[in-house]
Structure formats: C-alpha cells, structure tokens
Structure 1
Amino acid sequence: MQTNNLLLQKEKEFMKNFILFTAPFHLFMGAFYYIVDPEGIGHLLIFLFFLCVLFGGTLGLKKNLSFKFLSTIYIFAYSILQYSFYLLYNSILIQALYYIPIFLLLNYHYNIKIMLLWSIYIVISFLSPFLISKYFNISHPLKLSKTEDLIQSISTFVTVLFCVCFNLYYIKIFHKIKEDGAIKSQNEDKKSSLMQTFTVKTTDINHENPDAPESVTSDKFEELYQKAISCLEEKKLWQDPNFSLNQFAEILCTNRTYLSRTLKEKGNTNFYNLLNSYRIKQVLDDFDRLEHKNFTIAFIYQKAGFAYQASFNRVFKQVTGCTATEYLQQEKYQI
C-alpha cells in the first residue's frame, strides 16, 4: 500500500510538472504561428490544445484518474493535433520528433503488442495527410524565412530534448519505486516467517505433565501466549541482552514452567528462540533503513539485544543463509 501511494504521488507530480514546464513552449509556438500565419488556425489549435491539457489534467488529478489513463488520453489528443497540423501545412515534418517522448510513455505503460498497435496508429496519422493532400487541395504549406525556419527547428529540438529527459527522469523514479516495493514485499515475507525459523521440533506435548495444573485449557494457553507476545512487542523486551525467562514470567504474573509450556504449545518455539527471532527482525529492519551507513554492524546487533558477536553471527546465518557482511553486499544496500 505504501508503495502504491508513493507511486501515485510521483505520477501526480509528473503530470503537474509536465503541464507547468511545457506551458511556455505552447505559448511560444502559438505566438510563433500567429506571426507566420496570422490568417490560419494553427495558433488557435495550439492554444486550444494547451487549454484542453490544462483543464483535463487538473480535472483528472482532482478525480484521481490513473496516470495511465490520463497520459493515454493526452497522447491521443496530441496525435489529433499533429494530424491537423500535417493536414494544414503538409510540410512540417520536424514535429514528428515529438513522438520520441510519447513512445517513452507508451513503452512504460504498455507491452510490445500494444506498442505495435500504437505505432501503426501513429504512422497512419502521420502519413495519411500527405496522401490526402495529393487528391484534395486543403493544405497551404508555410513559406518560412531562414530565420523563422531556424527558430522553429531550434525550439522543436530544445523542447523534444527537454521532454525526453523529463520523461526518462520520472520513468526511472517510477521503476525504482516499483522495484523497491517488490524488494520490500519479499523482505516482509521473509521476516514474517522468522517466527517459524526458530521453531522447536517437538512431539505432542504431554498434557498430563505434573508440573502444570490439570485444569489448564487450550484457551488459557492462548490467552497467556497472546499476552506474552503483546508484552514483548510493546516493551521490546528482546533488546535487553540479559532478559530471562524468569523475568518474563514475573512480568506476566505466572511461573516459568507454565510460560515455557505455553510458548511450546501455542508458538511451537522456546523462550530464547522467540527473543532471537525479534532480534534478527530488528537487525533486518535496520538494514532496510540503511542504518549500517551510519552505524557499525556491532552497534546494530547490540541494540537489538545480542550480547556477543558469535551468537549474532550464528543466528543471523541460520535465518538468512549468509553472514551480515555478505547480506549487505546485495545491490539494494549499496545505495
């Protein structure tokens, strides 16, 4: 859920900044076409397109429409704008460069099959006006001076370059968020199984143990077990390297025999394995937060409650299959 929220936030940021940063170009090109073709409708098309993008983007953000939907609508609307320009002026081929950043967005959203269909659509929308102009005299190619042609070319190259860099920057962020989310999900799955890593393989417990009251029921075991786990997590008792079973039993107002049996009965573990599971989970959480960039590994495992390096190394390798140093050599921890 956190990954989805972060991705949604960045996608909204992309749409806001894209409208903001491309606004000057739309205004400039609108003014440019008004100057070179005051009797035409090219400048009106540009201004209308920008107003539609501004209105549609604002409304889409308020309605929380998906980034995929909004960018697809934008691409479709842009292709219609370009189609109109090709139909009107016939010779403005340089504007085909604007399809480069568009294909970057399409590649982010769609698979190869859908990309192929989009490519066919764009090629048709690009070529058909030139075919139509051969049979119908509906276009009037602009006769630009060298200066005007240079202005158009430079502004187009600069804008396309900006849009490409802008798209690549955010697409990299989107992929990074998704990748980190996938890694975090895998780590959470691993951590959730830590409690089972330290299970004690036992046979059925003898319910006629003379050390335990005969009236103890499964419900009472469950009640004490839940109370023990809540107390442990709330007070983070595992962080005390000297914390003992006797102390835990006193806190819970019971005896060590009854508590030990409860942990075996309901948690399929013993006291020290239970503590170590929480200690290793805390260490892994600190690694995920890149605490090892600011503190030594020794400080991290001692903070988690391991008194000795040897015991930490043994338990850590038992859980992860490698040493802490080897674990941190993964690419995600080298950031």
Structure 2
Amino acid sequence: MGASLLPFQVVDYFKPGIFPLMFLTGPLLYLYVGSLTIEDFQLKPIHLLHLIPFMLVAIHRSTIQVVPISSSPDLVENPQYLFNKVYYTLLIISAFSYWFLGLQLIIKHRKKMPLYFSNYTGKNSLNWLIFVLSLFLIVFLASFFSFFVNNILGLAPVSYTTLPLNLTVFTFIMVYFGINQSAIYSREKVHSKLRHQQLSPEESLPKSGGALLSDEQIAALSALVKNYLTDKKPYRNPDYNLQMMADDLAISRHKLSHVINSGQKKNFYKFINQFRVEEAKAMLADPSFNHYSVLGIATECGFNAKTSFNRIFKEETGLTPTEFKQTLERSTN
C-alpha cells in the first residue's frame, strides 16, 4: 500500500521492487495456520522451499529491464510487461494453492477436535480463521480476476487495482485476530494439581507386546479413568483436554486416547461431557442448587456456553435442562 502512495516507482531505485514480497503472503499464511493446527509444529529447514518462488522472481527481476506492475499492459508499447503478466499469473496460482492447503489443515484439525478437547471454543475451533480465509477468497478472487482480465488478458484498460488495499486490510485483520489467538495444543507438559501420586498404570500393568493395549490393560485403564473422573471431577474445568488427563494419570496420550475410544466406545469430547451431564442432573435434582440458573449449573459442571449445555444435555437425556427440572418437580408433587 505504501509503494502505491510513493511519488516515484520503487523499481527506479530497487529493481526487484516489492512485487516479489507478495509471493510470501501464501507461505506465511500457510505456516501460521500450520503452527496453530499441527501439534508440536516447528519450523524446519525444508520449509525454506517455500521461499523458492520469492527468490526466483526477485533474482529474475534483478537481471532484466523492469517495468512497474502498474505500468501499461500493452505489449506493443511496453513489451517488458510480458514478465509482469507471468509473475502475476504465478502469484494467483500461489495464493490460491496456499489458501487451499491452509483450509485443508483447518479441516483436519477440526476433525481431530473431539479426540482432544472437551469444549469447543472460537479459539480452538479457529472460526475466526475460517472467516478470514473466506474473506480472503471472496475479496482477492474479485481483485485478482479484475486485474487478470484487464492487465494480463488485456481485454480492457484499468487505471487502479484494489489489490494493495486488500492486502493491507487482510494483514491488519490477521494481526488483530492473531494477537488474541493463543496456542491450541500445549507446547509443554501440563502439571496439574490433580496429578496422582501413585504408580503409573503403564508400569503396573503387564506389557501387551504390541502397538495396541491388551483387553486386560484396556479394562484396567478404563476403570482407572472412570474412578479418576468420578473422584477428582477435573471436567469442571471448561478448558480440560486429553493432555491434562494424560498428565494427571501419567499415561501416554496415545494410549489414553485408545483406551477411551476402544473401552468406552466414545471420543474424548463425548466421554467427558457425559460426566458433565451426570453432574448437572445431580445438581438439578438437588434442592440446595435451586437458586442456580441453568447457566450457573452449566458453568459449575464445566460447560462453556448455555447453548452447548442445552444441546449436549438433550442428546444424553432427550430433554433440555429446563424440561428435566420440570419433570423432577412434577414427580415430587
């Protein structure tokens, strides 16, 4: 945006100009999405391959007679603009390829969410990022298409492109939401106050010898998990997740996930919310909690929103919390 406001062409003083930098938009967006959705994400030397388009365009523009991207696209009077057409076509391919790859990462993450989280929030579901990517698609598709038709295909003259403005707005939106986005997956081991001070089940049980646990181990660990949830009630924490449980029980998360999925025939999300619903039913039936609102009970049991509480409660009982309460009152009268 700043280059568009300058009273001179950037390429007059710096041959590559700022155009090569636009090839970093897609890779940076993709790596940022990866840092949120891929557990234990780390930048690796292989990620430097994403810089190849940027480097090639920058080097090529340094070795030829450069014309501004905003100059006339007429190849008769401005033959060097041919390279700009090639650059811009490659930029469109790059931008939408990385948009698609970023969306794939989010989809994979959302499919894994029930295996790791006990509540869905705007931050761990990345709803804002889906919104931003959708905005990117709509706004940039219109801008790219307009510029491509006018400057690359030469079907009509254009005096101004909204691409610099779109890139600037997109950057500020990403920065605003990104500052408020915390890490989704724990980067280091969580030390919970509920951690058991007893022998790890993996040490006390016989080894199965294979990659999967034996039926005896699954049964023993399932009983341990149920007792732990019943006694300690860690699910009252709305941010409770599989890693916290694994740390509390000193079991590898992979084995714990296998125990819950195989032993309970449920994913982590449904398993934990089943205990929350049972806790809510007990509170609704207890007269000492009559002064609590539905939202108050939901919060006490670990739900993070009234809507999700009503939905999950009805899935488990066939009734909403209010209907359940009314049923109890009618049965006692």
**TM-score interval for Structure 1 and Structure 2 normalised by the shorter chain:** 0.3 to 0.5
| Bigger CA radius of gyration | 1
TM-score by length of 2: 0.35
Could you say which structure has the higher helix fraction? 1
Q: Which has the higher contact order (CA 8 A, sep 6+)?
A: 2
TM-score (norm 1): 0.34
